[in-house]
Amino acid sequence: MTADELSAIEDRHPQIFQRPAYKRFWPLLLMAGTVLYLGYALWFFSLPQVLRESHWERLPLFLSQWISYDLQPEFRLDQPEITPKYLRFSALGENPNPDWVIKNPDGTYTVQVDGDAKSVTFDKTKAAITANGVTVPISLTGGKPVITGPVPDWVTVHDDEIVAKLGFAGEVRVTVDRVKVRKRFLGWANFVFDTRSPFFGKPAGEVISLIVSGPELRPGTSNLALAADNFWNNAQWQHGDVWTKLLQTIVMAFLGTLLGGIVAFPLAFFAARNITPSGVLSQVLKRFFDFMRSVDMLIWALFFTRAFGPGPLAGSAAIFFTEIGTLGKTYSEALENIDDKPREGVLSTGANGILVQRYGVLPEVVPVFISQTLYQWESNIRGATIIGAVGAGGIGLKLWEAMRTNSNWANVFYMVLLTLLVVFIFDNISNFLRRRLSRTLHDYNRLQAERG
Amino acid sequence: MTSATLHSDATRQQADAWRRQTSLRRFYTALGVGLLLAAMFATMWFADEANAGHFFDRLPHILDFLSWLIPKDLNDVWRALFDIASPSDRGTQEFNFPLGRVYIWDGFYIPEYFELMLTTVNVALVSTFIGFVFAVPFSFIAARNLTPSPILRLVVKRFMELLRAFPEIVIAGLFAAIVSIGPVAAIIAIGLHSIGALGKLFYEINENIDMRPEEGLRAVGANWFERVRFADLPQVLPNFMSYTLLRIEINVRISTIMGAVGGGGIGEELKLAISRGFGAKTLALVLLLFITIVLVDQFSAWLRRKLVGEQAFLMSA
């Protein structure tokens, strides 16, 4: 291609090659603006400092706690006899006798953190930690623990304590007067029955046979009722409470959206410019919808929590007030977009106002209304989870409380899984119903088109 | 038998059939409405039972509740908003308006609430930016017609679904323990959610584009990046921008809520003011938040109209 041909093309398409300067440079300006803004945001949130002071090493630890639990036996060496002690409410119940804590014939104890490959063996005078193919001998006689020989990098020596980090499997801490082990297990401990339950520690088959044909464990109650009660009131997982709170979240979204729809429905007719008798009324109602929407769901939630006390009533009321605005706006917009011919037809038969709306307008908009209401319900289930955390009831508050202690991540994950399940189920129900509706709507439109 | 009676017989049959059909339909409609109403009253009862205060017990006290909200001196609302000392100040937290001033230089300050509002808006903007930056490439991978690999497409789609459905407060809580409680944790949480939400809308737009420019570039041997950049992106960018603007509106609201559960910004202050019953402060905060949300919505609606014209968009969470 010669230069002449190039300039010929350029001449033929001036609108592409000779655009005004602002059009050519606005992407550049936008990018420069974005970069400047990001720089400002970096400063505003003092991001470098926040990142420097953050503890990213906690992330894998927290994530591993979502799907695991640990046991922390402690051995006092200054007592006449060495015995393992467990934390109160440990996952093993009242009489722990795990097979990974071994009392050897020579009087020493061995704790297998991960089989024999990662373990610690000790008595009152010495300890030996084995991991990664190395055994580290520790002498406990000199007033502080001393490692004889080279120190591998997974062992940290402090003034009076030696800490061996054994990865996911756990860790061992040794001082002169105690040995503390943390052993981590994959899974959720005591998910079905807690340690106080008579069914605790029994294999599934035995539990089932007890329920089906066993003698009554608690006189006067059937074993099935007892098992259900023990499961429902499991102290560690609180299934009953979690499920009730989850139901509250669904109820909040359902009630708020439904009531919002019921109130918005008649108002939308008066707000739609093509239907309302008065333009002033239409403007007033539209500004009212905007107001209800713009006073955020959070503000309503905080107000109603104060007025009614914390709980699902406050949450439902908050969603209700926000939904009046959102649904009122979408309903009235749908009404303004209708085809006016059916309405005129009904009007020409001499029908009164309400009958015109019923037969001339409603058939056209009801599928749209229902579809939009379902959509709002679906998105309010997510919203209800969040506003729950400010006290408006439901699973949100429970999630927030479980997270605040930073120790209950398995419970948090359990609740997250249930929430995801609920969101998934309701998304699908709502999608299914909306597809059915849109098919009805589609058939209706096609029928109209065929009739001309 | 004449043809007239035959005709009327057929008409009567038709009319009967129609009547049967409508009465059946009316029955189903009534049944549906009845079930819905039953569910409504049942859930109302359930919500009322589970609440700390009950509806009819609390209803007479609603006016008490409103009476603390309206301050004795209405000027206190302006004073609270602009951090001007109030004559009602008795040294309590209720009227200590000048305390939170953020001084820029001698004598010139930004009122506390404006600074907090700025934090909330900045959280929303930065997290929407994060969402946009990741959602654009993801959306091209997740679109059926543009994807470089079907397996990658499935992975990216599932990943975005997970990000969208995962409760934001859990992400916020997790990162609050890592980067300290405050706006940065909120940014990460809302940003991750925005990736999923925007990504879904974006790839649905991508699946509806005109494929001819793409085919043209394929014919001259352009690789995937070049095709996406020169054939697809120009078609979808106005729509992308307009959904992103919509997302900013939503994120301002979410970041307010995040503030109330510890994410910093105006939500936290609002929660404190309401729970302690500081009427003037509450009204000032609600006013500021309301005006900001209206301004953001109006500005975004104006910009969206400029970008894509009068096109209706479904609100999306």
Looking at residue A117, what is its pLDDT?
A: 83
Rounded-to-integer distance, Cα B30 and Cα B24, Å: 10
Q: Is B103 helix (H, G, I), strand (E, B) or coil?
A: strand
**Which one of A311, A375, A385 has the shortest CB-CB distance to B50?**
A311
Closest CA to A346 of A336, A357, A360: A360
Cβ proximity of A394 and A305 under 8 Å: no
Enter the pTM of the model: 0.84
Looking at residue B310, what is its pLDDT?
A: 53
Cβ proximity of A437 and A370 under 8 Å: yes
Please report whether residue B123 resides in a domain. yes
The model's confidence at residue B315, banded by pLDDT at 50, 70 and 90, is: very low
Q: Where do the DSSP E strands lie in A7-82?
A: 68-71, 74-76
A437 interfacial to chain B (CB closer than 8 Å): no
Residues of A in contact with B166 (CB under 8 A): 416, 420
From A303, which residue of chain B is nearest by alpha-carbon distance? B274
Residues of B in contact with A307 (CB under 8 A): 53, 58, 61-62, 65
> Which residues sit opposite A174 in a β-bridge?
A162, A179
**Which one of B50, B184, B286 has the shortest CB-CB distance to A47?**
B184
B142 interfacial to chain A (CB closer than 8 Å): no
Looking at residue A441, what is its pLDDT?
A: 67
- Best residue in A337, A381, A386 for a mutation probing chain B (most B CBs within 10 Å): A386
**Is residue B129 domain-shared with residue B268, that is, in the same domain?**
yes
Looking at residue B140, what is its pLDDT?
A: 94
Reading phi first (left if > 0) and then psi (alpha if -120 to 50, else beta), residue A294 is in alpha
Please report, as a single letter, which amino acid is at residue B221. Answer: G
**Is residue B209 domain-shared with residue B297, that is, in the same domain?**
yes
**Is residue B39 domain-shared with residue B176, that is, in the same domain?**
no
Looking at residue B142, what is its pLDDT?
A: 93
Measured CA distances, B153 to B140, B142, B147, B209 (Å) = 9, 5, 6, 17
Residue numbers of the domain that contains B13:
3-50
Q: What is the pLDDT of residues B127-168, one digit of tens each?
A: 999 999 999 999 999 999 889 899 999 999 999 999 988 888
Q: What is the pLDDT of residues B198-228, one digit of tens each?
A: 999 999 899 888 899 999 999 999 999 999 9
**Is residue B183 domain-shared with residue B253, that is, in the same domain?**
yes
The residues spanned by each domain of chain A are: 71-186, 239-451
**Is residue B143 domain-shared with residue B32, that is, in the same domain?**
no
Please report whether residue B36 resides in a domain. yes
Residues 279-298 of A with CB under 8 A from B: 290-291, 294-298
Rounded-to-integer distance, Cα B181 and Cα A322, Å: 28
Question: Average pLDDT per run of 10 along chain A, which is 452 residues long?
Answer: 84 78 81 94 91 87 86 84 76 73 84 85 86 86 82 87 86 88 85 81 82 79 85 87 93 94 94 86 92 88 88 93 93 87 87 86 87 88 87 87 82 92 88 80 66 52
Q: Is A131 helix (H, G, I), strand (E, B) or coil?
A: strand
**Is residue B24 domain-shared with residue B138, that is, in the same domain?**
no
Highest mean pLDDT among A14-23, A285-294, B81-90, B97-106: A285-294
**Is residue B22 domain-shared with residue B127, that is, in the same domain?**
no
Please report whether residue B218 resides in a domain. yes
Closest CA to B201 of B259, B153, B161: B161
Q: What is the pLDDT of residues A359-394, one digit of tens each?
A: 888 888 888 898 889 889 988 988 898 888 888 888
Pairing mode, strands A84-85 and A74-76: antiparallel
What one-character DSSP code corresponds to residue A78? S
Looking at residue A95, what is its pLDDT?
A: 67
Chain-chain contact of A390 with B261 (C-beta, under 8 angstroms): yes
The model's confidence at residue B313, banded by pLDDT at 50, 70 and 90, is: very low
How large is the ipTM?
0.83
**Is residue B213 domain-shared with residue B283, that is, in the same domain?**
yes
Looking at residue A452, what is its pLDDT?
A: 46
From B288, which residue of chain A is nearest by alpha-carbon distance? A295
For domain A239-451, the question of CATH label 3.40.630.10 is answered with: no
Rounded-to-integer distance, Cα A383 and Cα A191, Å: 29
Rounded-to-integer distance, Cα A317 and Cα A299, Å: 11
CATH code of B202's domain = 1.10.3720.10
Q: How many residues does this entry show for chain A? A: 452
Cβ proximity of B94 and B73 under 8 Å: no
